[in-house]
A and B are shown apart, each in its own frame.
Chain A
Amino acid sequence: MTSGTAAGPADATGPGAPGGPAGPVVAAARARRGGRRRAADGQVPWPLALPAAVALAFLLFPLVALLIRAPWRGLPDLLGQSSVRQALFLSVQTATVATGVCVLIGVPLAWVIARSRLPGRSVIQALITLPLVLPPVVDGVALLLAFGRNGVIGRRLDAWFGITLPFTTTGVVVAEAFVAMPFLVVSVAGALATADRRYEDAAATLGAGRWLAFRRVTLPMAGPAVAAGAVLCWARALGEFGATITFAGNFPGTTQTMPLAVYLALETDPDAAIALSLLLLAVCVVVLVALRRRWLPGARGVSAAL
């Protein structure tokens, strides 16, 4: 009886046609507004507000100082130099290639860590974060011992293939990838470990083997995490200093990236150093803002759908 009458209105409107598409739009708008509204009506207690303000000031003041002391008048000249353009181009180029390498081999590693039943899985998980916590100079030394001309692997690379890594642009990529990959792996492995694996079950019942399920379900659904990891990875690679200068040296045009150029300029021409820093800051801000707009709504949508 009750279910009969309840079905009446649903029948009258048809199979959800008019209500269907409008509902989700409203819901999506509400979700978008949700974050702002929550922040607005949440009263922050002062024991949290005070340290938070200090932390924010601490993080922002040095950047503000950079802006205050910037030699704005001479800026066009300083940045117009070909050596600056060269360093910037090299930095962006190597960081991008390093990020590509990290995605290509780091995502599979993340999958193995998150999903496989390898015996030494937890040990691997701990080891891959080592480059993250070690001083980058130590990373550079380690790279030299492995891939240097007399390094364990480097010697054979040199003897058999004539490939030399240290003090080359490829060496810069190697150093950056080595230091930055953990950011990507940790981010993606975390997403894969917490992902709802029943979607892979669903893919299996539709005839997809594990590789196909990974390609068409797992990876696309982890897309936002991969993107976030790649952005972190790229930013870390762009700012890489210690391992690069140790393993690849500081040769203008081939291995002198922006951070190296800044450090060098600081000793000879502080104004140039500030200008270069400003440029690096601008590049980072532009990239982060662009990617946030591109990826964060997607990330939120996926997590909401889950």
Chain B
Amino acid sequence: MTGPDRPAEPVPPRSGPTSTGPAGTSPGEGGSAPSMRPRGLAAEVRVERDSFTLRAALTVPAGEIVCVLGPNGAGKTTLLRALAGLLPLTGGRLVLDGQVLDDPATGAFLPAHRRPVGVVFQDYLLFPHLSARDNIAFGLRARHRAGRRAARAAADGWLERLGLAAHGDLRPADLSGGQAQRVAIARALAPGPRLLLLDEPLAALDIATRSQVRAQLAATLGTLDASVLMVTHDPLDAMILADRLVILEAGRVVQSGPAAEVARRPRTPYVARLVGLNLYAGMASGDRVALAGGGELRVPADVGRVEGDRGDEAVLVAIRPTAVALHTEAPSCGSPRNVLAGPVEGLEPFGDRVRVTVASTPAIHADITAAALADLRLAPGRLVWATVKATDLDVYPAHGS
């Protein structure tokens, strides 16, 4: 939910560039922060570029893993670049472990090479002219001015820890995808960042190595004391690796919360598609929800009272596709349920089931077994009736409480 983490936000809202005060204001603010000195990232990011605006507020306490999920063009990479210091904010404020990284209002800006931030890039960007060992040693030498020998010794420690002891002399071109990914993570972690950013760390891997590398990544990240922010568009990666999800769409945070909660109660069609649910928006009144896209759903009669007795209320309705039954004849009335009639629009294998899309009002996805598919003799264009029990509908307020 968007709501809960807002009050915890230690970032004071700013009133824009007009509040740029004399230099004296910044020590004053610095003085109030150290009393708490929250460990972790507190970010209020605002980046305006051409026609795109990213506005996102998020916190990542030390030791927590937050996954930012979003479709292409949502601003995920922009967010990451802003946090890394590769892109200055145009508004908002970045604070990491009490240290201000970027604050356009006071003009404070710590460039990328001075930030205690590590980045694992999407295609790793390992330096092709350096060995795996020297790639890992790079940050120790650059950031901590470590000598060549000390840095290489530390790099060897990382190689050993990640099971790459035999590959230290190899160039990145001679490493497999999974090995390159581990070297990239070691390179980012070696200088001891307090914030680790990962940009689609598993996207470059083939499916066979992916699950294995994902498990290793989870183990590596689990032991970290730093804040970890990972950007991905793969819901599976997010569900497995993240303590908390932040969903970014069109430059805005549309939903955030624990993975299980996001998966159960999606707030936007994008999230619903990610987690494989039918999602409808509408106005609840008694035991009926009038849908924004046309049509009506019958919901458990007491839902209005459970969620707050406020009469008409904007709600979201989530339906599991496995809770939808299909019939080739109009079903006779039984228990209170929803009946949606329409032609079959598409059939798609989905694990051990088949996902049937019915072009009713509203359209609905149903997951049925292959046997049921054969019994029903479904084909695109065939008229079917989809039924869902009212009690299988999850109804929740459209706006976070």
Query: Are A11 and B212 touching (Cβ within 8 A)?
Result: yes
Interface centre among A196, A203, A205, by most chain B C-beta atoms within 10 angstroms, is A205
- Known A20-B167, A198-B125, A209-B113: A304·B173 in contact at CB below 8 Å: yes
B331 contacts the other chain (CB 8 A) = no
**Which one, A120-128, A167-175, A214-222, A234-242, is touching chain B?**
A214-222
A162 contacts the other chain (CB 8 A) = no
B109 contacts the other chain (CB 8 A) = no
A223 contacts the other chain (CB 8 A) = yes
Q: How many A-B residue pairs have CB under 8 A?
A: 115
Interface bits A200-231 vs B (CB < 8 Å: 1, else 0): 01111111110011001100110100000000
Query: Are B175 and A20 touching (Cβ within 8 A)?
Result: yes
**B86 partner, pick from A11, A204, A208, A216, beta carbons under 8 A:** A204
Interface bits B154-169 vs A (CB < 8 Å: 1, else 0): 0000000001001100
**Which one, B7-15, B115-123, B266-274, B307-315, is touching chain A?**
B115-123
A45 contacts the other chain (CB 8 A) = no
Residue of B nearest to A201 (CB): B86
Q: How far is the CA of A74 from the CA of B296 in the complex (A)?
A: 105
Query: Are B86 and A7 touching (Cβ within 8 A)?
Result: no
Residues of B within 8 A of A206 (CB): 113, 118, 138-139, 142-143, 187-188, 191
Q: How far is the CA of A284 from the CA of B172 in the complex (A)?
A: 35
Query: Are A19 and B129 touching (Cβ within 8 A)?
Result: no
Query: Are B172 and A202 touching (Cβ within 8 A)?
Result: no
Residues of B within 8 A of A196 (CB): 125
B179 contacts the other chain (CB 8 A) = yes
Residues of A276-306 contacting chain B, CB below 8 A: 301-302, 304-306
A62 contacts the other chain (CB 8 A) = no
Query: Are A7 and B208 touching (Cβ within 8 A)?
Result: yes
B111 contacts the other chain (CB 8 A) = yes
B327 contacts the other chain (CB 8 A) = no
A6 contacts the other chain (CB 8 A) = yes
Query: Are B208 and A9 touching (Cβ within 8 A)?
Result: yes
Interface centre among A16, A196, A206, A223, by most chain B C-beta atoms within 10 angstroms, is A206
**A302 partner, pick from B129, B175, B188, beta carbons under 8 A:** B129
A15 contacts the other chain (CB 8 A) = yes
B178 contacts the other chain (CB 8 A) = yes
Q: How far is the CA of A3 from the CA of B175 in the complex (A)?
A: 23
Q: How far is the CA of A37 from the CA of B188 in the complex (A)?
A: 40
Q: How far is the CA of A59 from the CA of B112 in the complex (A)?
A: 52
A199 contacts the other chain (CB 8 A) = yes
A10 contacts the other chain (CB 8 A) = yes
Q: How far is the CA of A205 from the CA of B142 in the complex (A)?
A: 10
Residue of A nearest to B207 (CB): A6
Interface bits B165-194 vs A (CB < 8 Å: 1, else 0): 011001011111011000000011001000
A4 contacts the other chain (CB 8 A) = yes
- In which size bucket is the chain A interface? 35 or more
Residues of A within 8 A of B117 (CB): 205
Interface bits B259-279 vs A (CB < 8 Å: 1, else 0): 000000000000000000000
Shortest distance from the beta carbon of B114 to any chain A beta carbon, whole Å:
8
By secondary structure, the A interface counts as helix
Residues of B within 8 A of A7 (CB): 208, 211-212
Shortest distance from the beta carbon of A121 to any chain B beta carbon, whole Å:
22
Query: Are B178 and A15 touching (Cβ within 8 A)?
Result: yes
Query: Are B211 and A203 touching (Cβ within 8 A)?
Result: no
Residues of B within 8 A of A4 (CB): 211
Residue of B nearest to A305 (CB): B128
Q: How far is the CA of A23 from the CA of B173 in the complex (A)?
A: 10
Query: Are A305 and B173 touching (Cβ within 8 A)?
Result: yes
Interface centre among A7, A25, A302, by most chain B C-beta atoms within 10 angstroms, is A7
Residue of B nearest to A198 (CB): B125
- Known A4-B211, A6-B207, A199-B125: A204·B176 in contact at CB below 8 Å: no
A1 contacts the other chain (CB 8 A) = yes
The 3 closest A-B pairs by CB, nearest first: A207-B143, A206-B139, A305-B128
14 contacts between A and B (CB under 8 A): A6-B208, A15-B163, A16-B179, A19-B176, A20-B175, A25-B174, A203-B127, A205-B86, A206-B187, A208-B138, A208-B143, A213-B113, A301-B128, A305-B172
B positions within 8 Å CB-CB of A: 81, 84-86, 111-115, 117-119, 121, 125, 127-129, 138-139, 142-144, 163, 166-167, 170, 172-176, 178-179, 187-188, 191, 207-212, 236, 351-352
Given contacts A202-B121, A204-B85, A206-B187, 15 further A-B contacts (CB under 8 A): A9-B208, A16-B176, A21-B174, A24-B173, A24-B175, A202-B127, A205-B86, A205-B115, A206-B191, A207-B191, A212-B142, A217-B127, A220-B127, A221-B127, A305-B172
